[in-house]
A and B are shown apart, each in its own frame.
Chain A
Amino acid sequence: MSSMATQLAQAGQALAESVNEKQICARGLVTRQLNQTIFAWVREQRGGAARVVVSNLTGQRYLGTNLAGYPVRLDLYGTPGNDLGAFLDGPTLWVHGNAQDGVGNTMNAGRIVVEGSAGDVAALSARGGELFIWGNVGYRACLHMKEYQGQRPLVVVGGTAQDFFGEYMAGGVAVLLGLGTGPGSGPGSEPTVDSGGASSQGGAAGAGPLIHRIPYLATGMHGGVIYLRGEWDPSVLSTQVEAEPVASLRAEPALAEAVGQFTEVFSVRLNAVQRDLLERGPYWRIRPRGKRPYARLYA
């Protein structure tokens, strides 16, 4: 090990030791009790780095919402409830399983990682922060996501999305990687994914099975950018948005950054085939046509 790496490892070790950790079993606690319990302990840490491990979650809502500005990480086991990380402003939430509807609703800053899939309206109205989802997202993810100056939300999904992805999107970066990391659509069904070796020359060609089946994709989109990897059906797009192939990851810094972060977050889980798919693409970029694509919608 190089001296540099050794130093880094030691620094990391020191950091880990300095983090205060708290275990909370959520069983039997209703939403308000649980969030108050977490908040009370986090506040006692007086701004020091802190980690809370919450186990046996059974649908308690709004986790992380009341922790604005605290440098805290929540490790969540079980099933966290709706609006996980709503209005999140700083903390890191790590879900070791599936999340329900409304993950990262209107989040402002911070990071949410979901090791399973998320439900509907993930990143609804998000205006900052990062959301990484290993599996799929449900309906209307990134609905009306937005950006302002330095605030630019990032959503990266390992699998695919259901209808209305990026509806009314006004800003930010939303990425669907099409790695088949989410569930199929019924008992025993397999998610659709590239074979890895088969030809996959871009959505319009329609050579392989559709990886992304997203009716009403980017409907009403007027800002930000969506990236897709793998087969999809461009006919779902309205005329006000346009799709172009991305030449390479290097040529698209925002995408390269998103893929890089996803790879880092899920480095332990990504297999060689998936890494290869990420490297090879093909990727597509979806953007609104011009600054006011709907100016003449009713005229």
Chain B
Amino acid sequence: MTLDELRQRQNPYGDDKAIDACGLFGVIDRSGRRLNGQIAIEAMANLHDRGNGLGGGFAGYGIYPEMADAIALHVMLDDQASRARLEEELQQDFHIRLAEEIPHRPVAAGSSVQAPPLLWRYFLDPQPGISRRPGQRVGQGLGQGYDQGRGPEHGSGEGRGHGFGSGDGGPVVGASAEYDPEFADSLVDFVMHINRDLPGVYVFSCARNMGVFKGVGYPEDIGEFFRLDDYAGYMWTGHGRFPTNTHAWWGGAHPFSLLDWTVVHNGEISSYGTNRRFLEMYGYYCTLQTDTEVIAYAADLLMRRHHLSVNEAALVLAAPMWKEIDRLPATARQRLTVLRRVYAPLLLNGPFTVIIARSGELIGLGDRVRLRPFVAASAGDRLYVASEEAAIRVVEPQLDQVWIPRGGEPVVGRLDGLAQAGVPGAVAASAAVARAQATTATTTTTAACAAAWPAARPSGRAGWGEQEVAG
């Protein structure tokens, strides 16, 4: 059965226009403590009613500590011929350390998971100096500092049928937050090439020490199918889908991923066409037939390639209204005007709440008038974001704080130690910052405090100043 046929089959209800809401969940443990994938399954199971079984998925970070330095490639394939095509392609640019079917349980009768495509994963070492296509070299940047001291020594993996370290074990993080820019660019090109040019092959995820698991079905069934309880990660995101306007097929489930970015999304992006055209100018090609794809590419362009802070990226994706910008002091107004003009085609128009994640960092963001639900909570080292509080309480009954973030104001959680090394401008949900905020006067507007928490929005806030938009 081809993917096209699958698409027909998987959306028999023709309910593309049904209006409901997807369910989102995300958690990061700042200390790097790894959480069993069951936490994400249970949270998503609680949000069951928000989806309709036409898509579910998860992203786990820190799940491949034994292979932390290899590129983990998750793909779905039409058939064995597609796999042969892919492997031929891979061998030109990579040493394949391990190739195997993604471990999964048999599809149970009556499960919402039906007719999965072939699901494979590869652990790849780039081969420096091998040219893939004229003008493009994959692995060129290797050895230029993208791989410093992360994770334990290589293992051989545990083979088919096993995950990689279950349980709340060890502080192994293996975060590969920094990729050599050139290498990352060539990896993006490589993924775009596969998705566009290789028939029957779709990349779910392609980055170090993380992976996306997704498909058509209720999220808890998808999680069970992929044996997520065999994995442990310091960060998880989850999604239950209620498709609006687009097909339900395995590749169209969330999360969407590029490099180590993943995006889960509730809402619809009316500006998809505009966003897509803009991103194509930068070499991003939308192939997955769903609006959410553009958010992953926009995140990569803004935050990795153009070095915008999380807060600045939020001001692009969920830009304040011109009316609000007009009320700001001159310098802030000028900077926001520049941001809005330069990146006008990346404004995400329409209702949305998204969870954007990359190695070591979790970002929750709602549209500027907050037309989709969004709850955040903290408990010790953990930051949670979700569509409903119940989904958080069901996995962490005792919470330090629960709040509703304002539209356009990113909620950011970051691994300890990454706050300094990571992207400037935003800050970790660290206890230190929290304490600083609690104990200092409300006039504390260091870039650190101002950027990460909702005070950063201009609307109605007296203290909004130029220092909050990093220069």
Contacts and interface: CB of A to CB of B under 8 A. Distances in A.
A185 interface: yes
A119 B404 contact: yes
Interface string A183-199: 11111111010000000
A245 interface: no
A98 B402 contact: yes
Contact of A188 (B369, B434, B455, B459): B434
B438 A190 contact: yes
Main secondary structure of the interface of A (DSSP, over half): loop
A210 B453 contact: no
B293 to A, nearest CB: 27
Contacts of B389: 59, 79, 98, 100, 119
A159 B272 CA distance: 38
Nearest to B379: A187
B84 interface: no
Contacts of B391: 59
Contacts of B406: 162-163, 185
B383 A187 contact: yes
A164 B390 CA distance: 24
Nearest to B458: A215
Nearest to A215: B459
Contact of A209 (B369, B442, B454): B442
B376 to A, nearest CB: 8
A99 to B, nearest CB: 9
B404 A59 contact: no
Interface stretch (B59-67, B186-194, B393-401): B393-401
Contacts of B383: 187
B393 A119 contact: no
B403 interface: yes
A59 B460 contact: no
Interface in A162-194: 162-164, 183-190, 192
Interface string A53-93: 00001110100000000000000001101100000000000
Contact of B401 (A58, A184, A216, A233): A184
B166 to A, nearest CB: 24
A188 B435 contact: yes
B46 A233 contact: no
A202 interface: no
A214 interface: yes
Contact of B375 (A58, A119, A192, A206): A119
A163 B437 contact: no
A115 interface: no
Contact of B454 (A59, A98, A186, A206): A186
Interface in B412-471: 429, 431, 433-435, 437-438, 442, 452-455, 459-462
Contacts of A101: 373, 388
A31 interface: yes
A82 B23 CA distance: 13
A109 B375 CA distance: 29
A50 to B, nearest CB: 26
Contacts of B454: 185-186
A82 B460 contact: no
Interface residues of B, number: 42
B79 interface: no
A186 B451 CA distance: 12
A256 interface: no
In this complex, the member of B378, B390, B437, B459 whose beta carbon has the largest number of chain A beta carbons within 10 angstroms is B390
Contacts of A81: 388, 390
Contact of A78 (B369, B393, B462): B393
Main secondary structure of the interface of B (DSSP, over half): mixed
B437 A214 contact: no
Contacts of A78: 393
B335 interface: no
In this complex, the member of A79, A183, A236 whose beta carbon has the largest number of chain B beta carbons within 10 angstroms is A79
A113 to B, nearest CB: 18
Contacts of B378: 186-187
Given A187-B429, A188-B401, A236-B460, A100 B390 contact: yes
A267 B442 CA distance: 30
Contacts of B255: none
A117 B434 CA distance: 21
A183 B402 contact: yes
A31 B453 CA distance: 35
A185 B405 contact: yes
A131 B460 CA distance: 27
Contacts of A130: none
Contact of B400 (A139, A187, A215): A187
Nearest to B323: A215
Contact of B404 (A31, A162, A214, A215): A162
Interface in A19-78: 31, 57-59, 61, 78
Contacts of A187: 378, 383, 400-401, 429, 431, 434
B460 A215 contact: yes
Given A119-B373, A139-B370, A210 B401 contact: no
Contacts of A215: 324, 459-460
A128 interface: no
B390 A79 contact: yes
Contacts of B455: 185
A65 to B, nearest CB: 15
A189 B434 contact: yes
A261 B46 CA distance: 35
Given A98-B402, A183-B402, A79 B460 contact: no
Interface of B: 46-47, 49, 324, 369-370, 373, 375-376, 378, 383, 388-391, 393-394, 400-407, 411, 429, 431, 433-435, 437-438, 442, 452-455, 459-462
Closest 4 CB pairs of A and B: A59-B390, A188-B434, A187-B378, A186-B453
9 contacts: A119-B389, A138-B404, A139-B370, A184-B401, A185-B405, A186-B401, A187-B401, A187-B431, A189-B434
Given A139-B404, A186-B454, A213-B461, 8 more contacts: A58-B390, A59-B389, A81-B388, A136-B404, A162-B406, A186-B434, A186-B437, A210-B460
